[in-house]
Amino acid sequence: MKKVTENTPEMKHLRNMQMLRIYWGEICKVYDAVAGDVGFEYGPLNSNYVLLTIRIDKILAKEEFAELRKEKPSIYDSFMGNLDDLHVAYELMRPELWSFYGKLERLWLEKADGLGMLKLKDDEQQLLDYTDRAIAAYRKERDHLYANFLKMSAGEQEEVTQEKKVNATAPPRKIELHQLQPNHYNYRTGILWLSATDKVVIASKGKVKRPDGKKYEECWLLERLFKTVNNLKRGVKISSVNGVHPDKVDKKMVNKVRNYIFEIDKKIVEAGGPKRLIFVQDKTVKIDSSYL
């Protein structure tokens, strides 16, 4: 077993290595808690997350950590305003975050060489305790919101089923679309106007947001597509819709967007519109140019 004298450069480096590993592990725990289809801004958890990132950056700023600083995966500065992107992006982020943690753990074990954990300072232990409590409180509230979301979804699905039974015998109708413009989609109500008198309700009951505060994927997609005339004419990149780098768009993400479009087009057809108004081409969501 190594004998390390307190306050020597070796001891200081070992402490920094230990805390880097611990803080990064806490970061991974926070992401696992926050990422998902049901998420919401929670101030206490976000504050502790930001404090963790600050301490990590201070350690990595030291000269001896230059290589690890380059290898550190990209993470959010704050969760506030980024949750809509996070629940999609985290599928790609998670392996990188935990892989980096695994490397830090190995490096620390090599440096410690049988010494074991160094005693944590009061402020270090306090930050970890506060973060763990915030994670637990967040998960409890998230589970409550998710339970309410499931109840509401079940009720809405029953209404949709009853409506389909009523309309099952109605003859199909066709409408003549006007030339689509940005103002033909109302992002607050989730309504797409196909003509001056014909509309499609993309969001059930006109609710563009779910109980957890996030927008339904179909509504968010149309909001991006109908944002400007240029977006309508040129289309919107899937990377832009999901808020990720174009290199991060994989087959799974493309298929998810295709599913959103399928649901939108199905509602358009039921309202008497064309079968294929919106589609994906070259990782870009587009509208049939004949309706522009």
More confident residue, 269 or 162: 269
User: According to the per-residue pLDDT averaged within each range, which of 37-51, 98-112, 144-158 is highest?
Assistant: 98-112
Position 167 confidence tier, pLDDT thresholds 50, 70, 90: low
Name the one residue in this structure whose structure tokens are 């358009």.
Answer: 268
For 243-256, write each residue's pLDDT tens digit: 778 778 788 888 88
How sure is the predictor about 50, in pLDDT bands with cuts at 50, 70 and 90? very high
Q: What is the pTM of this model?
A: 0.52
DSSP E strand boundaries for the chain: 185-186, 191-193, 199-201, 236-237, 278-281, 284-287
| pLDDT tens string 271-283 | 888 888 898 888 8
Q: For the residues 229-258, what does the mean pLDDT come to?
A: 82
- Please tell me the predicted confidence (pLDDT) of residue 99: 93
Q: Where are the beta strands (DSSP E) in 96-227?
A: 185-186, 191-193, 199-201
The CA distance from 222 to 247, in Å, is 23
Average pLDDT (92-121) is: 88
Q: How confident is the model at residue 65 (pLDDT cuts 50, 70, 90)?
A: very high
- What is the three-class DSSP state of 197? coil
Q: What is the mean pLDDT of residues 150-169?
A: 58
Q: How confident is the model at residue 1 (pLDDT cuts 50, 70, 90)?
A: very low
The pLDDT, as a whole number, for residue 53 is 95
Give the pLDDT score at 222. 86
Q: What is the percent of the chain with per-residue pLDDT over 70, rounded to a whole number?
A: 83
The whole-number pLDDT of residue 2 equals 47
Q: Is 216 helix (H, G, I), strand (E, B) or coil?
A: coil
Instruction: Name 199's bridge partners.
Output: 193
Structure confidence by residue, pLDDT tens digits, 116-145? 788 899 999 999 999 999 899 888 887 777
Model pLDDT, residue 206: 60
CB half-sphere exposure, 64, CA atoms < 13 A: 10
Question: What's the average model confidence in pLDDT over 219-230?
Answer: 86
